[in-house]
Amino acid sequence: VLANPWLIGIAGVGAVAELFADKVMWVDSVWDTIHTAIRPIGGALLALAIVDPTDPAWQIAALLLGGGGALLTHGAKAGARAAVNVSPEPVSNVVVSTGEDILTGGLLFLALANPVAAVVIAVLILCATVVTLVLLRRVLRKLFQRKSSPPRGGGSA
């Protein structure tokens, strides 16, 4: 499945488009919004492609884990990029995007050279993503609770 020339071509075009879209402030947020639907479906289908097609239990597990993992990592990336977009200078967008590109290339090389190490790193990244999302949720909850709570003191009795 992964060696299909159409799949490789589509992935290549998408990678080149993302290489440029991530460098432009707010274009990357629109790009990430579109990919909120695409990436989990792609992750689920890729996971489905590697399991036994005769076992429905494994197929369902692969769909859920592949799609869920893709959604979690995409959510962390999109959230981090949205936070970078609110910084006033344009340099941070390019620096973060270039760092992502270098990290992705390095992890792809590692996956080909040492798959076991790549799996360990992928699990660590997934755990870090979950922790990041939990912390982000707490921060947002505290932020919105402060804005919605009435001002203290000065009330009439």
**How much is the pLDDT for 39?**
92
pTM: 0.66
Q: What is the dihedral of CA 128, 133, 137, 139, to 10 degrees?
A: 50
**Which residue from 137, 134, 110, 136 is spatially nearest to 122, judged by alpha carbons?**
110
DSSP letter (8 states) at residue 54: T
pLDDT tens digits, residue range 9-48?
998 898 889 888 888 878 888 898 999 999 999 999 989 9
